[in-house]
Structure formats: structure tokens, C-alpha cells
Amino acid sequence: MKKFALLVLLCAISLQAQLNVDYDSVKAQKFDNGKMWTFDYPPSLYFDETYEFTPDDEWFKDVRLSALRIPGCTSSFVSEDGLIMTNHHCSEWHRDKVQKEGEELKLSGFYAETLEEERRVPGLYAEQLVLIKDVTEEIQSKIDEGNTESEKLEKKKSAISELEKKYADETGLNCRVVEYYNGGKYSLHGMKKYDDVRLVFMPEEKIGYFGGDFDNFTYPRYNLDCAFFRVYENDQPVKTENYFKFSENGAQLGEPIFAVGFPGRTSRLKTFSQLKFNRDYAYRNLAFLYDEYYKRLETLKKVNPENADYYEDLRVAIGNGQKVISNVYKGLQDDYMLARKNAFERELKDKVFADAELKEEYGDIWNKIENLQTELANVYPVQSALTLSRRWNAQYFIMADKIVEMAQELSKPEEERSESYKNVNIDSLKQSIFPEEFDKVLEDMKLAYNLEYMRLNIGDDELLNKLFGDDDVNKILAESHLTSKDKAAELLEKSPEEILAVQDPFIQFIQLKKERLDKANNLVKEIRDTEEVYSNMLGQVLFKIYGTNIPPDANRSLRISDGVLKGFEYNGTVAPEFTTFYGLYDRYYSKDGAYPWGLHERWIENESALDKSVKFNFVSTNDIIGGNSGSAVINKNAEVVGLAFDGNMDSIIGNFIYLPHNNRMVSVTSQGMVEAIEKIYKAQKLADELRNGKIK
């Protein structure tokens, strides 16, 4: 049957990927677990051995206090007068919040020449790490009081909550406990929050995202992916002693450079069995969702050309995620990469089994975690198939979900209903069910795609067969009341009991899947909770054996990553360490200014004023991941030499392993930012502040 075609194909791909690699002959490499070092355990000795550079405690403290975390990204002070720097792509929604009537800042950019013109951004804040305290003993002692896995987990959560409240009350800071090494170590971080942040400068989107989705995760690049804000307190610019002054000469070949930021999450310390589960289930599912939706939207542009721009907007919105997910999934099917991860695990096991005490306490962790992955594989597909998502699911499912909830609530006495259904205008509620904008072509496509996703996970399933037959979209829709606003309104005029009994495939699906999905959710939670306890134990033994010689997984805590400028091989050639403004204009003229390689007219009008030989973007071996966007790249003097904004395609698998031979961070140079700000935008005051580290 056609509904199994995709499943068979994916199984074939998976089998093909499992090559006959001799796992025992592959060796783990020194930096497989990356170079995202913490400020809790500064890597002074490693820096000295690698670069003959031995920063003292004051250097690390100054760098730590110069860095800032903003929602989803990183920032940093670059002036004693509270000026902060981050990426353009981290700031688009903040820009839109301060846009005034008649403005299109996306097209024009923004520059406040005076402090009075700087615009406060609603909801934007910056956090500074001012307190670090090791609380491992306090938390682990509480965990050890538990007799079962569930008790241990509850003890852990309770201890963390108590510590966070205690230190928040004592310090007035935003305090949270950070887990390192899967729970092998615990650190309490106190963050000072600045909630008055104002926009100073942001270029237009054409140059901030030059090359658009096509060039995303590629190199050579030509992006002015920067934005500048200012932090205020008591309606005055913050005065700070800790900031990164801009370097005049930028990064130099051979010198160590450091990316300072708040990377999101990595899974490098997961067990081999956990990686295989991620490959076979979690990322397989995500790759299907992103890849198929992305491809089908392109097809819809030809099927329904009058909505082509809308479909392109939808594609762009998921383009970054699609590249990440599809390349991570591809990387997880690389048998050599998995062999490297297996080799690290094998070495760790050998060390554990060579020590009688460690063997007794930790020797069965890997088997326990592997057994949990087997249990998870039996229930995770059911959870995945039956869980609805507003992003991925067709409106038919979303409407049915709302209708079933409403009918079930309205069938109860009012005093027993949930709060959102008490004293509510029923007519208004019913009118909100059917979306105001309904693109049937799009929704029909999503329905077919949803059914394929369900079959991918649970195949020849009795519930799916009963309600959706052979997955004929036209036949399913012919049996539904949810294909038009009028038909849906007619259905909603029925009593709650009649609505719940109606023979509509979507309404029946919502009701019939509930018990099964609830059971799957409970089982997954139970397995994940147990897995967390064993992962904590794995973290303990990891730290006992390796200490801080390997960094913990990223988890949105502040990190410093070292590297050097270095090109890489691609497409049969070698990428240069730097690009220049010459390359930017070459791309523009070569593409005749076509989207997404167009330039604002100011770049053409002021072209002759620009020194095109100035280095613009660069690549280096620093280890970064999502969340690092906006990270300052500094030299040994804690001077800004660049601003990280992306990685190359080969960096995407960095979620699981760091491969220094081709993993690269992509940054905009310090001198390139100043050159453009001064020559193209005529923002002399800002250029001077960056050069001097203060307002003149």
C-alpha cells in the first residue's frame, strides 16, 4: 500500500547508513566533546599549554562581567557607557517593537545619533553573571537520601528549588542552579538583570541577512550581522568597568581568539544508545517534519501561485531549522561519527571497570540507560504520531481539538467547567473556532503530510485505518464538517452531546486518541525521569575520571571557547580565512542585485567611500552552537576582534560531536563593522564610541 512506501524507503536508508565499520579500530579524539569551557572551572592550564597564554582570575572575571545574556542570544558590553553588541538576527523582533507609524526599519535600518533618540525596547532585558557558587555537595547529599529513582529525582528538584530561593532572597539576583556533566556537578548562578535596554543602531535586513536562507550556514559570507543597544539604569546609561573595547587591527593569523557567550544545548555526553535512539526516532521524526514541509511549500508555489509569497515566507521561517535538523540527522547516520562516540564510551567503561569501587557503583549504568531506550522506542512513536502541533498539523485537527474541548466543557454544569469556560460568551467562542484566514490548498497539503507522519511512526494502525482508511485526502475531507466556515458553524449549532457523537473523522480522532496518548505521555515521562537519574550518575563518574579536562555539555550557561583563524576544504577548494567588502560587491553585481543578494541604495551611493580591502567576515575553529549568536570574539587583551553570527554546514553536527578539521565559526570583523558604520551609515558618533570604548 502507498502509505508504507515512505516507511520502507527510510528503513532502507537507515540500513544503508549502518556500514560495516570496525568500531574497535576507531579512536576518540581529544576534542570530540568540544571546547565550550565554563567560567566555573576556567581553563587556565589548557590555555597556557596550547597558546602560552595564562590569564589570571582577574582576566576571567573581567571577561565574564563583560558578557551578557539576552533572550535567545548573547550580547556584551563594548563601552563603559553601557553600549552592548549583538547580532542583527537576534534583534529583528526588538526592532519591530520600537518602529513608529510610517517607518519600515526592516528596509531602512535604524540609528540614534543622540541618547535622546535611543528607543527603549519593551520586554528586552540583559543578564550578567555576577555570582558563581558550587552547590554540588548540598544537592547530591539530598539526592542520596532517596531510595528509589523517583524519590531521588524529587529530592533533587526540591534541593534545587530551595537553593535558588535562598540565594535569590539573600542577593536579590535571579538565581538558578546549573547542571554540569549530566549532574556530576551543580553550580548556582546569580544573574543581575537589566530591563531598560534601548536600540542604538541596526542595519537594514538586506545587509544584516545578506544572502538570506541560501547562504545560511555557508561560507564565504558577507554579512553585517550586528546590532547595538544601550543598557540604562535609573534612566541613565549604565557605567561599567567591564567591557570589550574594539580592536583596531582585528584578528590576526596564528593568534588565539575566544568566543564568549551562552550556547544553547549540546548532547555530546549522551551514551551511545541515546545517540542511536535520537537517530532512529527523535531526529528521524524532526527531519521528516522539516524536510517534507519545506519541500511541499515549494511545490505549492506552483500549484497556487497567487499565494506564492506567503508560502515563501513560511519556508523562510523554518529554513534555518530545516538546515539544522536535516544535517544533524545526516550526521547521526554517519557510521564513523558514531564509532568515534562509541570509542569514547568504551574508553570510559574501561576506566570504570578497572576500578573495583567505580565498577560496583557505576558499572551497570550503560545497560540501564540502553534498556530505557528500548522501552522508549516502544512508546515514543505513539506519542509522536498522536500529539498535535499548531506549527505542523492541518487546521482540521486543530479545529477538531478546540471543538471537542468546548463540547466536553459545555456538557458539564458551569461550576464544574475549567475557568476559561465559565462566564464565557458561547457565540463568540464558536465564531473563533474556524480561522479567519483559511488556505484550503495549504491545509489539504498539510493533512496528507500529517497522515504520512503518523504512518511513519505507527504504520498499519487500527485507529488510523478506521478513521482515515487508505489516507485518501479527498475522501476524508468529504466526510468532514470542518472544510468550510458554514459547515463548521452548522455543526456548532448542535448540542455538545451531538457534536461529540458526530461521525467526523477529525472529531472522532481527537476523542479516540486521548486515552492512548495520555498513557504514552505518562510512560515517556516515567522513562525520562528514570533516565535523568541514571544520566546524573553517569555525570558523576565522568567528572571523577576526567574532571574539567573535558567541558560539560552546553546548557545556556556562560562559556568561553578558544580557536584560531583557519580556512577549510569545501567544494574541491579551500575557503579563505577572511572575506572583504570586495566580495560583497562581487556577489551583489554578479547576481544583478537579485533577492537575497540585494543592497540598500546607501551601499551603492557610498561605495566609493568604503575601503573595500577591509576584512569583513572570517572563519575560525571556535566551538559554538545556537545561543552563541551575538557572542563577542576577543583576543588575549579582551578586545573585540569579531562578532559570531553563524557556523558553516560542517558545524551543525556539533550538537553531538566537535570535529575541528572542518567545524567553523563565522563572524563579522571588528574593523568591518566600524568601516561600514562610519563610511556607509555615517554614524560617526557610534564609530567613535566603539574605537574609544566610551562616549566622547
Backbone torsions φ then ψ of 228, nearest 5 degrees: -130, 135
Q: Tell me the pLDDT band of 696, cut-offs 50, 70 and 90.
A: confident
| Tally of CB atoms within 10 A around 113 | 14
Task: Label residue 425 by pLDDT band (50, 70, 90).
Answer: confident
Sign of CA dihedral 36, 42, 48, 49: negative
Handedness of CA 526, 529, 532, 533 (dihedral sign): negative
Q: What pLDDT, on the 0 to 100 scale, is given for residue 20?
A: 57
Under 8 Å between Cβ of 297 and 311? yes
pLDDT given at position 4 = 43
- Checking if the pLDDT of 299 tops 70, the result is yes
Name the residue type at position 545. I
Measured CA to CA, the distance from residue 405 to residue 665 in angstroms comes to 47
Supply the pLDDT for residue 22.
Answer: 72
Q: Name the more confident of 22 and 209.
A: 209
Which pLDDT band, with edges at 50, 70 and 90, does 364 fall under? very high
H-only helix segments in 472-504: 473-478, 485-492, 496-501
Residue 537 pLDDT greater than 70, yes or no: yes
β-bridge mates for residue 69, sequence order: 74, 127
508 pLDDT more than 90? yes
- What ranges make up the beta strands (E) of 53-156? 67-70, 73-77, 83-86, 110-111, 119-120, 126-134
**DSSP secondary structure code for residue 571 in this structure:** T
CA dist 509 and 206 (Å) reads 45
Per-residue pLDDT tens for 337-363?
999 999 999 999 999 999 999 999 999
| Listed residue (443, 427, 518) closest to 476, CA to CA | 443
Query: Does the pLDDT of residue 295 top 60, yes or no?
Result: yes
Tell me what pLDDT residue 419 has.
Answer: 86
Cis bond upstream, residue 263 (ω within 30): no
Rounded to an integer, the average pLDDT of 259-263 is 98
User: How far is it, in rounded angstroms, from Cα 86 to Cα 379?
Assistant: 42
pLDDT tens per residue, range 392-413: 999 999 999 999 999 999 999 9
Q: 226-238 pLDDT, tens per residue?
A: 999 999 999 999 9
**Using H for helix, E for strand and C for coil, what is the string for 503-514?**
CCHHHHHHHHHH
What proportion of the chain, given as a percentage, has pLDDT over 70? 97
Give me the residues paired with residue 84 across strands: 77, 229
Q: Out of 2.30.29.30, 2.40.10.120, 3.40.50.10470, 3.90.870.30, which CATH number does the structure's domain 37-125+195-267+552-692 have?
A: 2.40.10.120
- With beta carbons less than 8 A apart as the criterion, state whether 409 and 252 touch: no
Q: Inform me whether the pLDDT recorded for 9 exceeds 50.
A: no
Mean pLDDT is lowest, of 7-21, 327-341, 635-649, for 7-21
Query: Cβ neighbours of residue 113 under 8 Å, at least 6 residues apart?
Result: 683, 685
Q: Strand pairing of 639-647 and 245-246?
A: parallel
Q: Closest Cα to residue 221, out of 667, 654, 677? A: 667
**Whole-number pLDDT of residue 426:** 86
Which runs of consecutive H residues, i.e. helices, occur in 333-414? 335-353, 356-362, 365-386, 395-410
Cα dihedral sign, 543-545-549-555: negative
> What is the phi/psi pair of residue 348, to 5°?
-65, -45
Region 5-10 average pLDDT: 45
Local confidence band at 136 (pLDDT 50, 70, 90 cut-offs): very high
Q: In this predicted structure, what is the pLDDT of residue 8? A: 41
pLDDT class of 422 with cuts at 50, 70, 90:
confident
Pairing of strands 110-111, 83-86: unpaired
State pTM to two decimals: 0.92
Burial of 63 (0-12, 13-18, 19+ CB in 10 A): buried
Residue 423 pLDDT grade (very low, low, confident, very high; cuts 50, 70, 90): confident
Annotated domain spans of the chain: 2-31+268-381, 37-125+195-267+552-692, 395-519
Give the C-alpha separation, 174 to 389, whole Å.
32
Omega prior to 220 cis, within 30 of 0: yes
The CA distances from residue 493 to 46, 411, 429, 496, 508, in Å, are 71, 14, 12, 9, 18
Give percent of the chain with pLDDT exceeding 90. 93
| pLDDT tens digits along 16-67 | 444 456 777 889 999 999 999 999 999 999 999 999 999 999 999 999 999 9
Which amino acid, one-letter code, is at 665? M
Task: State the cell numbers at 273.
Answer: 544508545
CA distance 646 to 624: 9
CA atoms 388, 391, 397, 400: torsion sign:
positive
Q: Note the helical H segments in 38-145.
A: 44-51, 57-66, 92-97, 105-108, 136-144
Reported as a single tens digit per residue, the pLDDT across 455-468 is: 999 999 999 999 99
588's CB contacts (< 8 A; 6+ apart) are 597, 598, 599, 603
| Other residues' Cβ atoms within 10 Å of the Cβ of residue 74 | 30
CA distance 618 to 560: 18
Q: Report the amino acid identity of residue 680.
A: I
| Look-up of cell digits 557503583 | 361
Look at residue 13 and tell me whether its pLDDT is greater than 70.
Answer: no
What is the pLDDT confidence band of residue 571, given thresholds at 50, 70 and 90?
A: very high
How long a stretch of residues is the chain?
Answer: 696
3-state SS, residue 589 = helix
553: left (phi over 0), alpha (psi -120 to 50) or beta: beta
- Chain center to CA of 595: 26
Mean pLDDT of the chain: 95
Cis amide prior to 596 (ω within 30 degrees): yes
- Enumerate residues 6+ apart whose C-beta is below 8 A from 456: 6, 7, 10, 284, 285, 288, 385
d(CA 643, CA 665): 10
